[in-house]
Structure 1
Amino acid sequence: MNRTFECTVYDPNQYVGLEIIRDRANKTIFIYQSYVSRILKLFNIENSTSAKAPAEPNYFLQKQENNPAGEVPYRQAVSMLKFLAIVSRPDIMFLVAQVSRFLDSPFKEHWTAVKKIFKYLKGMSDCGICYSGANLEPQTYSNADYATDVDTRKSISEYTAIMAGGAVSWSWKQQKCVSRSRAKAEYVSASDAAQEAQWLRTFLKELEVFEGLLLSLWITGQPYK
Protein backbone atom coordinates (compact mmCIF):
# COMPACT_ATOMS: atom_id res chain seq x y z
CA MET A 1 0.00 0.00 0.00
CA ASN A 2 2.88 2.35 0.76
CA ARG A 3 4.11 1.96 -2.81
CA THR A 4 0.71 2.85 -4.28
CA PHE A 5 -0.68 5.35 -1.78
CA GLU A 6 0.84 8.00 0.41
CA CYS A 7 0.05 6.83 3.93
CA THR A 8 1.47 6.72 7.44
CA VAL A 9 1.62 3.50 9.46
CA TYR A 10 0.94 3.75 13.20
CA ASP A 11 1.01 1.17 15.96
CA PRO A 12 -2.42 -0.39 16.60
CA ASN A 13 -4.29 1.28 19.46
CA GLN A 14 -7.61 -0.55 19.32
CA TYR A 15 -8.73 -4.01 18.25
CA VAL A 16 -12.19 -5.64 18.72
CA GLY A 17 -12.92 -3.43 21.71
CA LEU A 18 -9.44 -3.73 23.23
CA GLU A 19 -7.39 -0.64 23.96
CA ILE A 20 -3.71 -1.28 23.19
CA ILE A 21 -0.88 0.73 24.74
CA ARG A 22 2.62 -0.07 23.49
CA ASP A 23 5.68 1.18 25.36
CA ARG A 24 8.63 0.62 23.04
CA ALA A 25 11.14 1.97 25.57
CA ASN A 26 10.17 -0.60 28.20
CA LYS A 27 9.22 -3.25 25.61
CA THR A 28 5.73 -3.80 26.99
CA ILE A 29 2.21 -4.03 25.59
CA PHE A 30 -0.74 -3.26 27.86
CA ILE A 31 -4.31 -4.17 26.90
CA TYR A 32 -7.53 -3.20 28.64
CA GLN A 33 -11.16 -2.42 27.83
CA SER A 34 -12.59 1.09 28.21
CA TYR A 35 -15.85 -0.78 27.58
CA VAL A 36 -16.03 -1.10 31.38
CA SER A 37 -16.95 2.57 31.78
CA ARG A 38 -19.85 2.25 29.34
CA ILE A 39 -21.21 -0.77 31.20
CA LEU A 40 -21.08 1.01 34.56
CA LYS A 41 -22.94 3.98 33.10
CA LEU A 42 -25.55 1.76 31.43
CA PHE A 43 -26.43 0.05 34.71
CA ASN A 44 -26.13 3.21 36.86
CA ILE A 45 -23.13 1.93 38.79
CA GLU A 46 -20.71 4.79 38.08
CA ASN A 47 -21.68 6.64 41.28
CA SER A 48 -21.87 3.55 43.51
CA THR A 49 -19.28 2.58 46.10
CA SER A 50 -16.61 0.33 44.63
CA ALA A 51 -15.83 -3.14 46.00
CA LYS A 52 -12.36 -4.52 46.72
CA ALA A 53 -13.24 -8.00 45.44
CA PRO A 54 -15.90 -9.41 43.08
CA ALA A 55 -17.09 -11.79 45.83
CA GLU A 56 -16.25 -13.07 49.29
CA PRO A 57 -13.68 -15.90 49.60
CA ASN A 58 -15.07 -19.40 48.93
CA TYR A 59 -18.35 -17.87 47.72
CA PHE A 60 -20.39 -20.10 45.40
CA LEU A 61 -23.88 -19.37 44.07
CA GLN A 62 -26.62 -21.96 44.44
CA LYS A 63 -30.13 -22.49 43.15
CA GLN A 64 -32.80 -20.58 45.07
CA GLU A 65 -36.47 -21.22 45.77
CA ASN A 66 -37.51 -17.85 47.20
CA ASN A 67 -37.00 -14.18 46.30
CA PRO A 68 -36.89 -14.16 42.47
CA ALA A 69 -35.02 -11.22 40.96
CA GLY A 70 -38.07 -9.96 39.08
CA GLU A 71 -37.84 -7.62 36.09
CA VAL A 72 -34.12 -6.87 36.02
CA PRO A 73 -31.75 -6.82 33.00
CA TYR A 74 -29.97 -9.92 34.27
CA ARG A 75 -29.26 -11.60 30.93
CA GLN A 76 -27.99 -8.36 29.37
CA ALA A 77 -25.72 -7.64 32.33
CA VAL A 78 -24.27 -11.15 32.43
CA SER A 79 -23.68 -11.15 28.66
CA MET A 80 -21.66 -7.94 28.91
CA LEU A 81 -19.69 -9.23 31.88
CA LYS A 82 -18.97 -12.45 30.02
CA PHE A 83 -17.51 -10.50 27.10
CA LEU A 84 -15.19 -8.68 29.50
CA ALA A 85 -14.16 -11.88 31.28
CA ILE A 86 -13.37 -13.75 28.06
CA VAL A 87 -11.46 -10.95 26.34
CA SER A 88 -9.31 -9.26 28.99
CA ARG A 89 -10.51 -9.81 32.57
CA PRO A 90 -9.59 -13.26 33.91
CA ASP A 91 -9.94 -11.85 37.42
CA ILE A 92 -13.75 -11.97 37.16
CA MET A 93 -14.01 -15.18 35.15
CA PHE A 94 -14.83 -17.47 38.06
CA LEU A 95 -17.80 -15.43 39.26
CA VAL A 96 -19.10 -14.57 35.79
CA ALA A 97 -19.21 -18.29 35.07
CA GLN A 98 -21.33 -18.73 38.20
CA VAL A 99 -23.90 -16.03 37.45
CA SER A 100 -24.16 -17.36 33.88
CA ARG A 101 -25.76 -20.54 35.23
CA PHE A 102 -28.94 -18.71 36.24
CA LEU A 103 -29.88 -16.80 33.08
CA ASP A 104 -33.32 -18.41 32.83
CA SER A 105 -34.42 -17.97 36.45
CA PRO A 106 -32.28 -15.51 38.41
CA PHE A 107 -33.02 -14.74 42.04
CA LYS A 108 -32.17 -11.70 44.14
CA GLU A 109 -28.96 -13.28 45.42
CA HIS A 110 -27.81 -13.83 41.85
CA TRP A 111 -28.60 -10.24 40.85
CA THR A 112 -26.79 -9.00 43.96
CA ALA A 113 -23.75 -11.01 42.86
CA VAL A 114 -23.88 -9.37 39.41
CA LYS A 115 -23.97 -5.89 40.96
CA LYS A 116 -21.04 -6.82 43.21
CA ILE A 117 -18.99 -7.63 40.10
CA PHE A 118 -19.92 -4.22 38.65
CA LYS A 119 -18.79 -2.49 41.86
CA TYR A 120 -15.51 -4.37 41.76
CA LEU A 121 -14.96 -3.30 38.14
CA LYS A 122 -15.65 0.30 39.14
CA GLY A 123 -12.65 0.26 41.45
CA MET A 124 -10.50 -1.70 38.98
CA SER A 125 -11.69 -0.22 35.68
CA ASP A 126 -8.19 0.62 34.44
CA CYS A 127 -6.78 -2.87 35.04
CA GLY A 128 -5.71 -5.05 32.15
CA ILE A 129 -2.97 -7.42 31.01
CA CYS A 130 0.64 -6.39 30.47
CA TYR A 131 3.00 -8.36 28.22
CA SER A 132 6.77 -7.95 28.07
CA GLY A 133 9.68 -9.49 26.20
CA ALA A 134 10.81 -11.45 29.26
CA ASN A 135 9.97 -15.07 30.08
CA LEU A 136 8.51 -16.19 26.76
CA GLU A 137 8.25 -19.83 27.88
CA PRO A 138 4.52 -20.69 28.04
CA GLN A 139 3.39 -21.92 31.46
CA THR A 140 -0.07 -23.30 32.20
CA TYR A 141 -1.43 -23.45 35.75
CA SER A 142 -4.17 -25.93 36.63
CA ASN A 143 -6.38 -26.17 39.71
CA ALA A 144 -9.67 -27.75 40.76
CA ASP A 145 -12.33 -26.96 43.37
CA TYR A 146 -13.57 -30.31 44.61
CA ALA A 147 -17.38 -30.83 44.75
CA THR A 148 -17.97 -27.08 44.99
CA ASP A 149 -21.46 -27.18 43.49
CA VAL A 150 -23.68 -28.50 46.28
CA ASP A 151 -26.58 -28.93 43.84
CA THR A 152 -24.74 -31.41 41.58
CA ARG A 153 -21.59 -32.26 43.60
CA LYS A 154 -19.57 -31.54 40.48
CA SER A 155 -16.10 -30.04 40.74
CA ILE A 156 -14.71 -27.00 38.96
CA SER A 157 -11.80 -27.03 36.49
CA GLU A 158 -9.61 -23.94 36.31
CA TYR A 159 -6.53 -23.10 34.29
CA THR A 160 -4.55 -20.07 33.17
CA ALA A 161 -1.84 -20.01 30.50
CA ILE A 162 0.87 -17.38 31.00
CA MET A 163 3.29 -16.15 28.35
CA ALA A 164 5.48 -13.04 28.16
CA GLY A 165 4.42 -12.13 31.68
CA GLY A 166 0.67 -12.01 30.99
CA ALA A 167 -2.29 -14.34 30.69
CA VAL A 168 -3.00 -15.49 27.12
CA SER A 169 -5.73 -18.05 27.88
CA TRP A 170 -7.92 -18.86 30.88
CA SER A 171 -10.94 -20.98 31.76
CA TRP A 172 -13.25 -21.70 34.69
CA LYS A 173 -15.91 -24.33 34.07
CA GLN A 174 -17.87 -27.07 35.76
CA GLN A 175 -16.61 -30.59 35.11
CA LYS A 176 -18.93 -32.89 33.17
CA CYS A 177 -18.37 -35.85 35.49
CA VAL A 178 -18.77 -36.23 39.27
CA SER A 179 -15.32 -36.84 40.72
CA ARG A 180 -15.19 -39.18 43.70
CA SER A 181 -12.00 -37.71 45.08
CA ARG A 182 -10.06 -34.47 45.05
CA ALA A 183 -7.24 -36.20 43.18
CA LYS A 184 -9.56 -37.20 40.33
CA ALA A 185 -10.93 -33.65 40.13
CA GLU A 186 -7.34 -32.37 39.83
CA TYR A 187 -6.54 -34.86 37.05
CA VAL A 188 -9.67 -33.88 35.10
CA SER A 189 -8.70 -30.22 35.40
CA ALA A 190 -5.10 -31.00 34.43
CA SER A 191 -6.35 -32.82 31.33
CA ASP A 192 -8.23 -29.71 30.19
CA ALA A 193 -5.17 -27.56 30.88
CA ALA A 194 -2.89 -29.95 28.98
CA GLN A 195 -5.16 -29.79 25.93
CA GLU A 196 -5.02 -25.99 26.02
CA ALA A 197 -1.23 -26.06 26.39
CA GLN A 198 -0.95 -28.38 23.39
CA TRP A 199 -3.19 -26.08 21.35
CA LEU A 200 -1.02 -23.11 22.31
CA ARG A 201 2.09 -25.02 21.25
CA THR A 202 0.53 -25.91 17.88
CA PHE A 203 -0.61 -22.32 17.37
CA LEU A 204 2.87 -20.92 18.02
CA LYS A 205 4.36 -23.52 15.68
CA GLU A 206 1.99 -22.49 12.89
CA LEU A 207 3.03 -18.87 13.41
CA GLU A 208 6.65 -20.00 13.07
CA VAL A 209 7.65 -18.10 16.20
CA PHE A 210 9.20 -19.26 19.45
CA GLU A 211 9.72 -22.78 18.11
CA GLY A 212 11.47 -25.11 20.55
CA LEU A 213 10.14 -23.45 23.70
CA LEU A 214 9.39 -25.86 26.52
CA LEU A 215 5.78 -25.97 27.72
CA SER A 216 5.23 -26.27 31.47
CA LEU A 217 2.07 -27.47 33.21
CA TRP A 218 1.67 -26.70 36.91
CA ILE A 219 -0.90 -28.79 38.77
CA THR A 220 -1.70 -27.07 42.09
CA GLY A 221 1.86 -25.81 42.32
CA GLN A 222 3.75 -28.87 40.97
CA PRO A 223 5.47 -28.52 37.56
CA TYR A 224 5.17 -31.18 34.83
CA LYS A 225 7.12 -30.73 31.60
Structure 2
Amino acid sequence: MQDSKRGSLPMAHGTILNNKQCRQSDEEKKKMEKAPYASTIGSIMYAMLCTRPDVSYALSMTSRYQQNPGESHWKAVKNILKYLRRTKDMFLIYGGLEEELAIKCYTDSSFQTDRDDSRSKTGFVFVLNDCAITWKSIKQSVVAQSTAKSEYIVVSESAKESA
Protein backbone atom coordinates (compact mmCIF):
# COMPACT_ATOMS: atom_id res chain seq x y z
CA MET A 1 0.00 0.00 0.00
CA GLN A 2 2.81 2.42 0.82
CA ASP A 3 4.22 2.42 -2.71
CA SER A 4 0.83 2.62 -4.40
CA LYS A 5 0.33 5.03 -7.24
CA ARG A 6 -3.47 5.17 -7.07
CA GLY A 7 -5.65 7.01 -4.63
CA SER A 8 -5.88 10.46 -6.20
CA LEU A 9 -9.68 10.30 -5.67
CA PRO A 10 -11.63 8.53 -2.92
CA MET A 11 -13.51 6.59 -5.61
CA ALA A 12 -12.26 6.36 -9.16
CA HIS A 13 -14.56 7.68 -11.88
CA GLY A 14 -16.63 4.91 -13.38
CA THR A 15 -16.35 2.55 -10.41
CA ILE A 16 -19.44 0.35 -10.32
CA LEU A 17 -20.36 -1.57 -7.18
CA ASN A 18 -23.39 -3.85 -6.95
CA ASN A 19 -24.67 -7.08 -5.41
CA LYS A 20 -23.52 -9.16 -8.39
CA GLN A 21 -19.91 -8.54 -7.29
CA CYS A 22 -20.47 -10.10 -3.85
CA ARG A 23 -18.54 -13.24 -3.07
CA GLN A 24 -20.15 -16.34 -4.58
CA SER A 25 -17.82 -19.33 -4.50
CA ASP A 26 -16.24 -20.99 -1.47
CA GLU A 27 -12.81 -19.90 -2.69
CA GLU A 28 -13.90 -16.25 -2.80
CA LYS A 29 -15.49 -16.55 0.64
CA LYS A 30 -12.28 -17.93 2.16
CA LYS A 31 -10.20 -15.20 0.55
CA MET A 32 -12.51 -12.37 1.63
CA GLU A 33 -12.83 -13.69 5.20
CA LYS A 34 -9.20 -12.64 5.71
CA ALA A 35 -9.93 -9.04 4.64
CA PRO A 36 -10.85 -6.76 7.57
CA TYR A 37 -13.64 -5.16 5.54
CA ALA A 38 -16.04 -4.10 8.32
CA SER A 39 -13.36 -2.76 10.66
CA THR A 40 -11.74 -0.81 7.82
CA ILE A 41 -15.12 0.73 6.95
CA GLY A 42 -15.51 1.71 10.62
CA SER A 43 -12.08 3.34 10.72
CA ILE A 44 -12.77 5.31 7.56
CA MET A 45 -16.15 6.35 8.99
CA TYR A 46 -14.41 7.75 12.08
CA ALA A 47 -12.10 9.84 9.89
CA MET A 48 -15.04 10.99 7.75
CA LEU A 49 -17.10 12.12 10.73
CA CYS A 50 -14.21 13.98 12.35
CA THR A 51 -12.40 15.75 9.53
CA ARG A 52 -12.81 14.13 6.12
CA PRO A 53 -16.16 14.84 4.43
CA ASP A 54 -14.52 14.23 1.06
CA VAL A 55 -14.73 10.46 1.50
CA SER A 56 -18.40 10.32 2.51
CA TYR A 57 -19.69 9.29 -0.94
CA ALA A 58 -17.11 6.56 -1.42
CA LEU A 59 -17.71 5.29 2.11
CA SER A 60 -21.46 5.26 1.59
CA MET A 61 -21.06 3.19 -1.57
CA THR A 62 -18.69 0.63 -0.01
CA SER A 63 -20.35 0.26 3.40
CA ARG A 64 -23.46 -1.30 1.84
CA TYR A 65 -21.61 -4.54 1.21
CA GLN A 66 -20.26 -5.25 4.72
CA GLN A 67 -22.26 -8.47 5.02
CA ASN A 68 -20.93 -10.03 1.82
CA PRO A 69 -18.10 -8.04 0.22
CA GLY A 70 -16.44 -9.16 -2.98
CA GLU A 71 -12.96 -8.44 -4.30
CA SER A 72 -14.07 -5.35 -6.22
CA HIS A 73 -15.65 -3.95 -3.05
CA TRP A 74 -12.41 -4.55 -1.16
CA LYS A 75 -10.42 -2.85 -3.95
CA ALA A 76 -12.67 0.22 -3.62
CA VAL A 77 -12.09 0.32 0.16
CA LYS A 78 -8.32 0.03 -0.32
CA ASN A 79 -8.52 2.91 -2.80
CA ILE A 80 -10.14 5.08 -0.11
CA LEU A 81 -7.28 4.21 2.27
CA LYS A 82 -4.72 5.10 -0.40
CA TYR A 83 -6.49 8.43 -0.95
CA LEU A 84 -6.46 9.16 2.78
CA ARG A 85 -2.75 8.31 2.97
CA ARG A 86 -1.95 10.59 0.03
CA THR A 87 -3.98 13.47 1.49
CA LYS A 88 -3.11 13.01 5.18
CA ASP A 89 -1.67 16.53 5.42
CA MET A 90 -5.02 18.08 4.46
CA PHE A 91 -7.50 19.01 7.17
CA LEU A 92 -10.33 21.39 8.03
CA ILE A 93 -9.60 24.83 9.45
CA TYR A 94 -12.45 26.81 10.95
CA GLY A 95 -12.30 30.55 10.55
CA GLY A 96 -12.13 32.80 7.56
CA LEU A 97 -11.56 36.33 6.42
CA GLU A 98 -15.09 37.54 6.99
CA GLU A 99 -16.01 39.22 10.28
CA GLU A 100 -19.66 38.14 10.05
CA LEU A 101 -20.54 34.47 10.22
CA ALA A 102 -21.89 33.29 6.88
CA ILE A 103 -23.54 29.89 6.52
CA LYS A 104 -24.07 28.42 3.05
CA CYS A 105 -25.54 25.09 1.99
CA TYR A 106 -24.58 23.20 -1.14
CA THR A 107 -26.74 20.31 -2.33
CA ASP A 108 -26.61 17.78 -5.11
CA SER A 109 -28.16 14.49 -6.10
CA SER A 110 -27.37 11.80 -8.59
CA PHE A 111 -30.36 10.28 -10.32
CA GLN A 112 -30.86 6.52 -9.86
CA THR A 113 -27.19 5.67 -9.33
CA ASP A 114 -27.81 2.56 -7.25
CA ARG A 115 -27.87 -0.33 -9.71
CA ASP A 116 -29.51 -2.68 -7.23
CA ASP A 117 -32.68 -0.73 -6.37
CA SER A 118 -32.66 2.35 -8.70
CA ARG A 119 -32.46 4.83 -5.84
CA SER A 120 -30.77 8.18 -6.16
CA LYS A 121 -28.01 9.61 -3.95
CA THR A 122 -28.49 12.74 -1.86
CA GLY A 123 -25.67 14.89 -0.65
CA PHE A 124 -25.29 18.23 1.05
CA VAL A 125 -22.71 20.22 2.95
CA PHE A 126 -23.13 23.24 5.21
CA VAL A 127 -20.27 25.70 5.14
CA LEU A 128 -19.44 28.28 7.81
CA ASN A 129 -17.06 30.96 6.52
CA ASP A 130 -15.69 28.66 3.80
CA CYS A 131 -15.23 25.65 6.13
CA ALA A 132 -17.46 22.58 6.15
CA ILE A 133 -19.26 22.11 9.46
CA THR A 134 -21.76 19.34 8.64
CA TRP A 135 -22.37 17.09 5.65
CA LYS A 136 -24.32 14.06 4.59
CA SER A 137 -24.33 11.64 1.68
CA ILE A 138 -27.06 8.98 1.69
CA LYS A 139 -29.21 6.89 -0.57
CA GLN A 140 -32.68 8.43 -0.94
CA SER A 141 -35.47 6.59 0.89
CA VAL A 142 -37.82 6.67 -2.12
CA VAL A 143 -37.33 6.02 -5.83
CA ALA A 144 -37.34 9.36 -7.66
CA GLN A 145 -39.03 9.32 -11.06
CA SER A 146 -37.02 12.22 -12.49
CA THR A 147 -33.89 14.25 -11.88
CA ALA A 148 -36.04 17.17 -10.71
CA LYS A 149 -37.75 15.03 -8.06
CA SER A 150 -34.36 13.77 -6.97
CA GLU A 151 -33.22 17.38 -6.52
CA TYR A 152 -36.41 18.26 -4.57
CA ILE A 153 -35.68 15.41 -2.17
CA VAL A 154 -32.14 16.62 -1.48
CA VAL A 155 -33.36 20.19 -0.88
CA SER A 156 -35.98 18.86 1.53
CA GLU A 157 -33.38 16.79 3.43
CA SER A 158 -30.98 19.73 3.73
CA ALA A 159 -33.80 22.02 4.91
CA LYS A 160 -34.54 19.53 7.70
CA GLU A 161 -30.87 19.57 8.68
CA SER A 162 -30.78 23.37 8.84
CA ALA A 163 -33.79 23.63 11.16
Normalized against structure 1, the TM-score is what? 0.64
Q: Which residue, out of 147, 157, 162, partners 1:192? A: 157
The structure with more strand, counted as a fraction of residues: 1
Matched, 1:62 2:62: no
RMSD of aligned alpha carbons: 1.6
Q: Which amino acid aligns with 1:73?
A: P
Deviation of 1:59 (Å): 2.9
Amino acid in structure 1 at the alignment position of 2:33 = G
Q: Which of the pair has the greater relative contact order for Cα pairs under 8 Å at 6+ separation?
A: 2
The question of 1:97 aligning with 2:53 is answered no
Could you say which structure has the larger radius of gyration? Answer: 1
2:105 corresponding residue in structure 1: 140
List gaps (5 residues or longer) in structure 2.
Answer: none
1:6-155 correspondence runs (5 A): 45-49=1-5, 51-63=7-19, 64-65=21-22, 66=24, 67-68=28-29, 69-135=32-98, 136-155=101-120
Q: 1:179-199 CA deviation, whole Å, 9 max, x = no partner?
A: 11110010001111111122x
| Structure 2 Cα separation of the partners of residues 113 and 144 of structure 1 | 21
Identity of aligned residues (%): 27
Q: Deviations over 1:38-92 (max 9, x none)?
A: xxxxxxx445445211222243421125455332110110100011111110111
Structure richer in helix, relative to its length: 2
Answer whether contact 1:130 1:165 (CA < 8 A) is retained: no
Q: Gapped runs of 5+ residues in structure 1?
A: 1-44, 199-225
Please list, as runs of the form range in 1=range in 2, the aligned pairs for 1:162-201 lying within 5 A after superposition: 162-198=127-163
Offset at residue 103 of structure 1 (A): 0.7
Q: Is the 8 A contact 1:50 1:123 kept in 2?
A: no
Secondary structure of 2:69's counterpart equals coil
Aligned-partner SS, 2:93? strand
CA deviations on 1:122-178 (whole Å, 9 max, x unpaired) are 110111112224342111111100000011000011000000220000000000100
Alignment partner of 2:67: what SS?
Answer: coil
Segment drifting more, 54-63 vs 90-99: 54-63
Q: Taking structure 2 as the reference length, what is the TM-score of the superposition?
A: 0.87
Q: Secondary structure at the residue paired with 2:94?
A: strand
Amino acid at match of 1:75: A
Query: In the alignment, which residue of structure 1 is the partner of 2:125?
Result: 160
